[in-house]
Amino acid sequence: MPPPAATNLGYIPPDGGWGWVIVFASFISIGFSYAFPKSLTIYFKEIQEYFSVSYSEIAWVSSVMLASMYAGGPLSSILVNRYGSRPVVMVGGIMVSAGMVLASFGTSIIHLYLCVGVIGGFGLAFNLQPALTIIGTYFHTKRPMANGLAMAGSPVFLSTLAPLNQYLFDCFGWRGSFLVLGGILTHCCVAGALMRPVQKNIQPKPKTPEDAQTENLLQEERRRQKRRQQCWQQCIDLTLFKHRGFLIYLVGNVVMFFGFFAPVVFLAPYAKHLGVDEYSAAFLLSIFALVDMFTRPSTGLIGNSKWIRPRIQYFFSFSVAFNGVCHLLCPLATGYTGLVVYSVFFGLAFGMVCALLFEVLMDLVGAHRFSSAVGLVTIIECGPVLLGPPLSGFLVDVFGEYKYLYYACGVLMLVPGIYFFIMNYYNYKRLDEERAQSLAVGMRTDEEAVHLKLSHDEKAAPETNG
């Protein structure tokens, strides 16, 4: 298995400057990518009645959109590796905007699956993955904080879009609302225009004597790495499936994503089921998003601290388990006050996971392999993302209550949280052993070199004296 992720990118990331503009642009792209599918739940009850469909059938709208967003990850990775983040994000903005405009003329639920789900979902994929990748090219030291700030775009946009969608629906109905939203989504193109590629001709730091001694050893590794990059730069790096940390992350996430989005998708419908009025139900999403909004950058700051960052995988494990506990306790909230309390704690837990979700992946595989890694992760996760909300909706259809939905999601989050704790402990232990072995080999090599030099000097001495 490979050693810890390398941090040498061949240049020194600026860790600031135009990088903060990149964070703002990523804030917009990530905000639309994650918040938009959740905000559409405001229209679910009315669309459900309009087309006379079940809970599980209407849940497919968000599920297909999220699954398409994840399924488009590998294609987005290939395009980013080939053309860079800027044009990919701009094309994605055009796609998702066109999808919503076409959906406003929909005559069946299948039409919405195609326009909102497939076209819109792939457009969001072209917004999400490039935004995540470009941050890693601009930041290293401040990367957790930059990721946390960029990921805060999701709750900020959700807290805005939830009441906005309710207002648009009251004024224009769901068809007119979709048409207006299509125009709003063109702002993704503006975000893409700001994603200027990083300037890599930055002067390197002065070399120390130790660096000079190891330069010959590094040259061969750089040549091998360059050959690998040339081989894979147009496609996906499948060698990641031999990476221990990547596999641990992937297995846990597959289980986790079956219960990750459903609690958000059904929060407003759950409140309406309990007799809460429409605006108060939409306000629950705003409360959730407001807490999430402050949690993500705060989590980034904590994750960037010298106490947390060396073992940031444990922080992520706790966040996942915390989500599970919140969902298991949700059915105790039978009134609106209880739902507000749940929304606060859920926003806190959800924000922690989202702020760390891609940072811990980059921590495992390194920034230079992150684009391929996130592409592979998203294509595999599209299955649970697609099936999670409809399966949860099926539980509501069968039992006529939402509590079983939240119990199921709680278990599906708590179990991978515990799994991450155990496997990350094992991974960190193995990494420490591998570092110790590498250090021992290096010391033995140095000792052998010293002994060889001494032997050579001893042989040369008599010849000189003679």
Residue 16 has pLDDT above 90, yes or no: no
Predicted confidence (pLDDT) at residue 389 exceeds the cutoff of 70: yes
- pLDDT tens-digit series, residues 285-300: 888 888 988 888 888 8
Residue 10: predicted pLDDT? 65
Least confident of 213-217, 255-259, 388-392, 448-452: 213-217
Q: Tens digits of per-residue pLDDT, 222-271?
A: 565 555 555 444 456 778 888 898 999 999 999 998 988 888 878 888 88
Mean pLDDT of 110-120: 91
Percent of the chain at pLDDT above 90? 25
pLDDT of residue 408: 92
Per-residue pLDDT, 236: 64
For residue 343, give both structure tokens. 């929304």
The CA distance from 103 to 115, in Å, is: 5
> In Å, what is the CA distance from 304 to each residue of 24, 139, 143?
19, 12, 8
| CA–CA gap between residue 205 and residue 322 (Å, rounded) | 42
Mean pLDDT of the chain: 82
| pTM, full prediction | 0.69
- Of 208 and 307, the structure prediction assigns the larger pLDDT to 307
Q: Is the model's pLDDT at 5 over the cut of 50?
A: no
Angle between helices 143-151 and 153-184 (to 10 degrees): 50
Burial 360-382 (b: 16+ CB within 10 A, else e): bbbbbbbbbbbbbbbbbbbbbbb
Assess whether pLDDT exceeds 80 at residue 1.
no
Categorize the per-residue pLDDT at 128 as very low, low, confident or very high, splitting at 50, 70 and 90.
Answer: confident
Q: What is the rounded CA–CA span in Å between residue 327 and residue 263? A: 8
pLDDT value of position 218: 52
- 3-class secondary-structure state, position 306: coil
Read off the pLDDT of residues 50-106 as tens digits, 9 standing for 90 and up.
888 876 778 788 778 877 887 887 788 788 878 888 999 999 999 999 999 999 898
The distance of Cα 128 from the centroid of its chain, to the nearest Å, equals 8
- Residues 257, 265: Cα–Cα separation, whole Å: 13
Q: Is the pLDDT of residue 3 over 90?
A: no
**pLDDT of 6 above 50:** no
Task: Write the DSSP symbol of residue 305.
Answer: S
Predicted pLDDT at 448: 64
DSSP 8-state assignment for residue 115: I
Could you list the beta-strand ranges (E) of 283-341: none
Report the distance separating Cα 28 and Cα 150, nearest Å. 8
Determine the Cα angle at 351 with ends 345 and 353, to 5°: 110
Kindly state the tokens that stand for 399.
Answer: 């039992």
pLDDT in tens, 410-457: 999 999 999 999 999 999 898 888 888 877 776 776 666 666 666 666
> What are 132-161's pLDDT values in tens digits?
888 888 888 888 888 888 888 887 887 788
Here the contacts of 332-339 (C-beta below 8 Å, separation 24 or greater) are 334/274, 335/274, 336/271, 336/274, 336/276, 336/280, 339/267, 339/270, 339/271, 339/274, 339/276, 339/284
Closest alpha carbon to 367 in 46, 95, 5: 5
Q: Which whole number is the average pLDDT over 380-403?
A: 80
Query: How far apart, in whole angstroms, are the C-alpha atoms of residue 225 and residue 237?
Result: 12
From the centroid of its chain, how far is CA 157? Answer: 16
